[in-house]
């Protein structure tokens, strides 16, 4: 199972490698691929191309995607004498924190493409972006999400993020809402007028302003939305490039993994800052990430609390209404 990010409006060639145990193994016959979006709607399908040379790799074209979305790619082939089905995931995003060319040019040590292949740079850029977004609890480029929520019988829903350690911030547009009387009944899409009557507050509440409500039921509201800033701040780009270099060289340092301090030959002792759930352990990087983070301070900081007044009155939709 693989995961990658691709820029919107740019065609790409997807690839997948089959293994038998640890050995890359070419498929026999004609492998196929099928791509669907987050709603299960077909995007494309067909016969995949076998690269050959005992690489185990097959490829498939992906036309330029004009909208942000998440795609699931299902590969089916005969490998090692048996039918195999494997899945990859692709996210179409509105940009990257830096280009691969910027990443390679950020340090002369990365100029050796045989030591630092382009594929490695792309993988580590994905790791850096994902880590930064988790630490800061926000995205610095436009992204897409799809969530299934419970209707509460009121005009308000609290948007959730599909990643359980993230909250929703910087919503750009609500693309679609579908709702059913219950989760096992027919879902009906909001009309253009109903979508236009939605508003999203800074603390992630989705509100219907047309007097209608979200029907009360379990898992009966599906919301697709785009979120994130237009682009990352310049200092955060530099911090992410610093983090890229450390991610690329994690296994090349001479310091043992569990070291908290070390002493050099002249007798000086250096204490290392340690990574945490929401910090990298690199003081310069963490200081810059902290400027833009929505989390509370500290290694295990949680999401910034919403500044919303709680209602303690015993009415149907108060905090303690006692209903279901």
Whole-number Å distance between alpha carbons of 21 and 6:
29
Whole-number Å distance between alpha carbons of 46 and 35:
9
| pLDDT at position 269 | 63
| pLDDT at position 303 | 58
Question: Are the beta carbons of 62 and 35 closer than 8 angstroms?
Answer: yes
Q: How far apart are the first and last CA of the chain?
A: 39
| pLDDT at position 183 | 79
The structure's pTM equals 0.85
Residue 239: φ, ψ to 5°: -65, -40
Residue 304: φ, ψ to 5°: -65, 130
Question: Which structure tokens are listed for 304?
Answer: 């910034």
CATH number of 1-93: 2.60.40.10
Q: Quote the distance between the C-alpha of residue 262 and its chain's center.
A: 36
Which residue has tokens 């999401």? 303
Q: Three-state DSSP class for 112?
A: coil
Whole-number Å distance between alpha carbons of 160 and 146:
9
| pLDDT at position 11 | 97
Q: Where are the domains of the chain?
A: 1-93, 96-142+232-299, 144-227
Longest dimension (CA), the chain: 74
Question: Which structure tokens are listed for 324?
Answer: 């279901």
| pLDDT at position 274 | 73
Q: Identify the segments of the chain with pLDDT beneath 70.
A: 251-273, 297-324
| pLDDT at position 296 | 76
Angle among Cα 38, 133, 109 to the nearest 5 degrees reads 115
| pLDDT at position 267 | 63
| pLDDT at position 140 | 98
| pLDDT at position 250 | 81
152-190 pLDDT per residue, tens: 999 999 999 999 999 999 999 999 999 999 878 999 999
Q: Quote the distance between the C-alpha of residue 96 and its chain's center.
A: 12
């Amino acid at each position: 199972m693989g995961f990658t990010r691709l820029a919107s409006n740019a065609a790409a060639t997807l690839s997948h490698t089959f293994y038998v145990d640890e050995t890359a193994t070419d498929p026999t016959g004609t492998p196929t691929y099928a791509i669907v979006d987050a709603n299960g709607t077909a995007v494309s399908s067909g016969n995949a191309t076998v690269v050959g040379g005992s690489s185990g790799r097959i490829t498939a074209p992906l036309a330029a995607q004009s909208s942000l979305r998440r795609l699931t790619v299902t590969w089916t082939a005969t490998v090692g004498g048996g039918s195999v089905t494997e899945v990859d995931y692709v996210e179409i995003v509105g940009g990257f924190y830096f280009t691969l060319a910027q990443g390679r040019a950020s340090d002369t040590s990365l100029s050796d493409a045989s030591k630092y292949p382009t594929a490695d740079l792309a993988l580590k850029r994905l790791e850096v972006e994902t880590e930064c977004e988790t630490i800061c609890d926000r995205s610095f480029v436009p992204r897409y999400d799809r969530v299934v929520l419970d209707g509460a019988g009121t005009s308000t829903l609290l948007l959730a993020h599909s990643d359980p350690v993230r909250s929703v911030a910087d919503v750009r547009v609500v693309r679609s809402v579908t709702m059913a009387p219950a989760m096992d009944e027919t879902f009906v899409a909001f009309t253009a007028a109903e979508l236009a009557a939605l508003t999203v507050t800074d603390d992630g509440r989705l509100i219907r302003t047309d007097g209608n409500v979200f029907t009360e039921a379990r898992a009966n509201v599906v919301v697709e939305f785009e979120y994130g800033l237009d682009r990352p701040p310049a200092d955060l780009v530099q911090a992410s490039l610093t983090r890229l270099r450390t991610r690329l060289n994690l296994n090349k340092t001479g310091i043992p993994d569990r070291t908290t301090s070390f002493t050099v030959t002249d007798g000086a002792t250096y204490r290392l800052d340690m990574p945490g759930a929401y910090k990298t352990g690199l003081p310069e990087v963490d200081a810059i990430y902290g400027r833009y983070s929505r989390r509370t301070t500290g290694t295990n900081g949680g999401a910034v609390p919403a500044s919303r007044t709680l209602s303690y009155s015993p009415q149907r939709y108060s905090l303690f209404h006692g209903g279901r």
